[in-house]
A and B are shown apart, each in its own frame.
Chain A
Amino acid sequence: MEEFTTFEQNEFSLCVRVRERLPDLLDGFLDALTAEAIRAHLATCYQCSRDLRELRQTIRLVESLPFVEPLRDHAPAIMAAVERQSGHSFQAPVVEMETQRTLRSPYLPRTTNGLERHFLSAALGLQGAIAAVA
């Protein structure tokens, strides 16, 4: 009886570990040996194979969501705004600079204003700022 209980516990533990890895299996993050071992378990375990099927179904349902149609044609308003901008010189890429990221950092003191945060982050760098706050 005790052996049977242990066997059940081992099976349960294996199922828990397999289910934790199912997303990795679907996303192709597992090495070949691990994937093969999990597939072997799935072939004999109804609950785990059901979990995998439902996970696949869930992803498919989300990925097959149709376009949400805009309630109106936004092109006229967009083009009116573009016309107001036309004549400007085309700018550099919309790429966030590292300094901008640092300025938004939650680690910088909330009490400082934008200019102070700029100089603080520039002078200390992120790690220094964290140390300063700490």
Chain B
Amino acid sequence: MAPTDAALVQRTLRGETAAYNVLVERYQRQVYSLIYRMIGNADDAGDLLQDTFLRAYSALASFRQDASFLTWLYKIASNLSIDHMRSRKTRSALSLDLELEEGREPAAERAFSPEDTVMRGAVAEIVHNAVLNLPARYRVVVVLRHLRGMSIDEIAEELRIPSGTVKTHLFRAREMLRERLRPVLDMETDGRVHHV
């Protein structure tokens, strides 16, 4: 029987770094996926994945044994991704704080390298690109709400913006996604596509 997360954390805290390796192997896919959905760049996602596990390792003593280790990793990864978007010297990322506070119009559509668009299934790729093409402020709330399952209030607290702003961003994001996914929605309605 595989050891529990809590047991592996305890063993790591006692100095058994091999136990931490098991946690890394167990959760790197999920954490990488969340980061990649938020920032849309494979190289940066790899760097942030490493940062996430290093942060978690450094702060392991503070991990509550009754909590979910994956949820804890998700929180660290989300915060690092948001900080990354805030600090990157790009047009869209520089203004994330402003975007979160205000209602700036979407940046132009982005180009994707072949490496970044490695996805299985045409529909999944369309949905993935639709999410990535959202303005940063909308993309963040969509990922936190629909891929991390956070509540509106939790997102507001994490992003430090009012709950009403989160709801507005989510509303607009879903509207934009609906328009961009129109061909898929029509295909589903016609019965040509049943699932991603």
Q: Which residues of A contact B (CB under 8 A)?
A: 20, 23, 27, 54-55, 57-59, 61-75, 77-79, 81-83, 85-86, 88, 90-96, 101, 106
Contact (Cβ within 8 A) B185 A78: no
Count of chain B residues with Cβ under 8 Å from any Cβ of A?
A: 61
Contact (Cβ within 8 A) B170 A94: no
Report the Cα distance A20→B172, complex, angstroms: 11
Report the Cα distance A83→B12, complex, angstroms: 12
A15 CB to nearest B CB, Å? 15
Contact (Cβ within 8 A) A62 B177: yes
Residues of B11-28 whose CB lies within 8 A of A: 13, 15, 17, 20-21, 24-25, 28
B89 CB to nearest A CB, Å? 16
Report the Cα distance A118→B40, complex, angstroms: 34
Residues of chain B contacted by A20 (CB below 8 angstroms): 171
Known contacts A66-B124, A78-B24; decide if A94 and B76 are in contact (CB<8 Å): yes
**With contacts A61-B177, A70-B29, A74-B50 known, what are 8 further pairs, Cβ within 8 A?**
A54-B178, A59-B146, A67-B30, A69-B32, A78-B24, A81-B50, A94-B55, A94-B59
Q: Which residues of B contact A (CB under 8 A)?
A: 13, 15, 17, 20-21, 24-25, 28-30, 32-33, 36-37, 42, 45-46, 49-50, 53-62, 76, 79, 97-98, 101, 115, 118-121, 123-124, 127-128, 131, 142, 146-147, 152, 160, 167, 170-171, 174, 177-178, 181, 184-185, 188, 195-196
Of all chain B residues, the one with the shortest Cβ separation from A62 is: B146
A25 CB to nearest B CB, Å? 12
Find A61's partner among B25, B42, B127 (CB 8 Å cutoff): B127
Residues of chain B contacted by A64 (CB below 8 angstroms): 195-196
A16 CB to nearest B CB, Å? 13
Listed by A's residue number, 5 A-B pairs whose Cβ atoms lie within 8 Å are A69-B29, A69-B32, A69-B118, A82-B57, A94-B79
Report the Cα distance A81→B147, complex, angstroms: 28
Find B142's partner among A54, A62, A85 (CB 8 Å cutoff): A62
Report the Cα distance A55→B28, complex, angstroms: 31
Contact (Cβ within 8 A) A58 B178: yes
Report the Cα distance A72→B142, complex, angstroms: 26
Contact (Cβ within 8 A) B171 A85: no
Contact (Cβ within 8 A) B184 A61: yes
Contact (Cβ within 8 A) B178 A55: yes
Find B17's partner among A55, A67, A86, A106 (CB 8 Å cutoff): A86
Contact (Cβ within 8 A) B13 A90: yes
Report the Cα distance A88→B61, complex, angstroms: 12
Residues of chain B contacted by A79 (CB below 8 angstroms): 17, 20-21, 24
Of all chain A residues, the one with the shortest Cβ separation from B184 is: A61
Contact (Cβ within 8 A) A23 B167: yes
Residues of chain A contacted by B128 (CB below 8 angstroms): 65, 68
Contact (Cβ within 8 A) B37 A68: yes
Contact (Cβ within 8 A) A65 B58: no
Which of A23, A88, A93 is most buried by chain B, counting CB atoms within 10 A of its CB? A93
